[in-house]
Amino acid sequence: MDVSDRVVSPVLIIGRSGRAFSAALGGRRIVRDRVITSLAPSISHNWVVEGQTVRPLPSDIGKVVHRLLGARNPDELSFADVVALLATPLELIPVEADEGVFVPARTEAELLPDDFSIPGLNATLFPYQARGVQWMLDIGRHTGGFILADEMGLGKTIQIIAVLLAEQPTPDAPALIVCPTSLIANWKQEILRFAPELSVLVHRGPYRTGVSSGLRKAQIVITTYDTLVSDIAIFASVCWSWLICDEAQALKNPDSQRRRAIASIPRKRSVPMTGTPVETSLLDLWSLVDLAIPRLLGSREDFKARFPDDEESARGLAQFTNPIVLRRRVADVAGDLPERIDIDVPLELGPELSRQYAQVLADTLERYPVAGALVATGQLQLFCAHPWLQGGGPADDDDDAQIERRPAVPLMTPKLERTVAILSEAFQSGQKVLVFAIFNRCGELVREAARGLPDAYWGAINGSTPQEERQKIVDEFSAFDGPGCLVLNPKAAGAGLNITAATIVIHYTQAWNPALEAQASARAHRRGQTEPVRIYRLFYEDTVERVMIDRSEWRRDLGNDAVPISTREVADLKRALSFNPGAENV
């Protein structure tokens, strides 16, 4: 065997076998544009064998690798170890991952059997759900956490219940489910329905315990985010077998009190659940991943330096997060769902409303010279909903914008006319309709405009509707023998509620965050729906609403959930203010 005296460049190669990761030391050289990689006998050797030739590595490479690995066993690396090693500065030693190290969760789940069953589960899982449960059980044992990000309507709740039934917690180390107040009853009901052998304790309200031992009386404890913050001392005194965070978008702000409280809870496995893992910035994803697997993506400061908020960083980040984020879409895995028909309805303001729109823009920019851009977009959204609506700030703060009737402006606008036409057709055929509007008083205007239509059920759910009344309203709407209209604020009723009695959805106002619209549509188009669902988006051309529609389409076409909306924030805001449909009339 020949011995070369030419030192080759070192490289640390990460490989994978099953769920096991390992590190191997190699040497690399380029011959006629061809890369040749050879392995060392171990990470302690400073030479490699290439065919019949022994080639040296740098003499101190063994010390470098041992210093890099620290206490890690090179033959038994964790997923977190792999991610940390790949962040090693190139000047120390290049670290590379073999193909197959970072396999997306969805790809791995698709390879699992369809016929997985769990004793005691009072339901037959759909094939994709069975595969998802198997994947979650496996990844949970090996990483200690993951994110369940299936699209709305695919049954995230029953999959989690199946996981808890397959690997049952004990009262000494119970599972903790944290969710919004509106979903407490749903979680309890679903557990009792699908896994009645599991014991459940709801910790909320005046009957909650004041000592940690009071939480160790059932296999599963359900509480709300606000209650957990208030009682963090007793929650932090229990080592939980599972920490399940439903509607985990509530935890995306790492500085929030509830996010800090959740992070302080001792637990063996963590599962943030959300259909929208990224909404505004990549820090959203860091916040959720760091809850699922603490320190996987490094500190917050290191993360922001390594992954700035742009599309290139988002795609690079996806390599590390896709293996622990299970994200399936309705269109991908639920072919047995009835047809969904999306119908965009562009509208024209008309000369007089265009003139008024332009006047609102000019007046607002003059009145608010510093924060004018943000306030103006909010005022223009209000105007597009209806000129009678009046509020003082950005649209997100104007849920309760008031109605100021103006004799010179009629009730019926192009948008209301189209809404009434859709309602009329629906009512005549006995169908039920959901109308989503981010301004609460829109419901009053819609009902007033539709006063000449056939008798129907009318209801509304918004932020002022008591939590305990919301499901009751949905039940009444669903049980009503005839047509109906339910007007919903998507921030209050755009998640968690199952309203499959409706077969028509109208998005009366648009949202800057396309995830809000997707969640709202999923209230009707989800498991349990037996009829085709028509989804209408009503918007005015050449207004702020056109920008909002285009923003939603951009995000959908991009097809990458890790890309933050904020990458287009400045451009979208500038474009929203560039439209002036009535400039010639001002």
Residue 490: per-residue pLDDT: 86
Whether residues 433 and 556 share a domain: the answer is yes
- Tell me which residue has tokens 């929650």: 235
H-type helices in 144-256, by residue range? 156-166, 184-194, 225-230, 232-235
| Measured distance CA(456)–CA(484) in Å, rounded | 5
**Least confident residue range of 76-85, 124-133, 170-179, 373-382:** 373-382
pLDDT band, residue 585 (cuts 50/70/90): very low
Q: Is the pLDDT of residue 254 over 60?
A: yes
Instruction: Label residue 70 left, alpha or beta by phi (over 0 means left) and psi (-120 to 50 means alpha).
Output: left
> Which structural domain, as residue segments, surrounds residue 397?
340-585
Whether residues 508 and 361 share a domain: the answer is yes
Residue 112: per-residue pLDDT: 95
CATH number assigned to the domain comprising residue 114: 3.40.50.10810
Classify strands 2-3 and 504-507 as parallel, antiparallel or unpaired: unpaired
Whether residues 352 and 390 share a domain: the answer is yes
Query: How many degrees, rounded to 5, is the angle at CA 335 between CA 325 and CA 498?
Result: 70
pLDDT band, residue 372 (cuts 50/70/90): low
pLDDT band, residue 24 (cuts 50/70/90): very high
3-state secondary structure at position 462: coil
Cα–Cα nearest to 326, from 51, 133, 80: 133
**Least confident residue range of 61-70, 173-182, 369-378, 403-412:** 369-378
pLDDT band, residue 584 (cuts 50/70/90): very low
Residue 199: per-residue pLDDT: 97
H-type helices in 368-429, by residue range? 372-385, 414-428
Whether residues 79 and 175 share a domain: the answer is no
Whether residues 433 and 452 share a domain: the answer is yes
In Å, how far are 60, 154, 189, 410, 464 from 525, measured between CA atoms?
62, 10, 21, 35, 25
Q: Is the model's pTM score more than 0.75?
A: no
| Measured distance CA(95)–CA(90) in Å, rounded | 8
Residue ending a domain, among 333, 357, 383, is 333
Over residues 283-311, the pLDDT tens digits come to: 999 999 999 999 999 999 999 999 998 88
CATH number assigned to the domain comprising residue 571: 3.40.50.300
Whether residues 148 and 59 share a domain: the answer is no
Domain count, the chain: 3
Whether residues 321 and 363 share a domain: the answer is no
- Tell me which residue has tokens 């059997």: 113
Residue 511: per-residue pLDDT: 81
When pLDDT is averaged across residues 71-80 and rounded to a whole number, the result is 93
Half-sphere exposure of 65 (CA within 13 A, CB side): 26
Residue ending a domain, among 333, 362, 383, is 333
Whether residues 190 and 284 share a domain: the answer is yes
Residue ending a domain, among 79, 97, 115, is 97
Classify strands 389-390 and 402-403 as parallel, antiparallel or unpaired: antiparallel
Strand pairing partners for 540? 347
Q: Is the pLDDT of residue 496 over 80?
A: no
Whether residues 539 and 514 share a domain: the answer is yes
Whether residues 74 and 136 share a domain: the answer is no
Half-sphere exposure of 315 (CA within 13 A, CB side): 4
Residue 311: per-residue pLDDT: 85
Whether residues 388 and 420 share a domain: the answer is yes
Whether residues 404 and 459 share a domain: the answer is yes
Over residues 323-336, the pLDDT tens digits come to: 999 998 876 776 66
Q: Is the pLDDT of residue 132 over 50?
A: yes
Query: What integer best gives the mean pLDDT of the chain?
Result: 87
Over residues 96-105, the pLDDT tens digits come to: 999 899 999 9
Residue 102: per-residue pLDDT: 94
| Measured distance CA(258)–CA(279) in Å, rounded | 18
Q: How many CB atoms lie within 10 A of CB 165?
A: 20
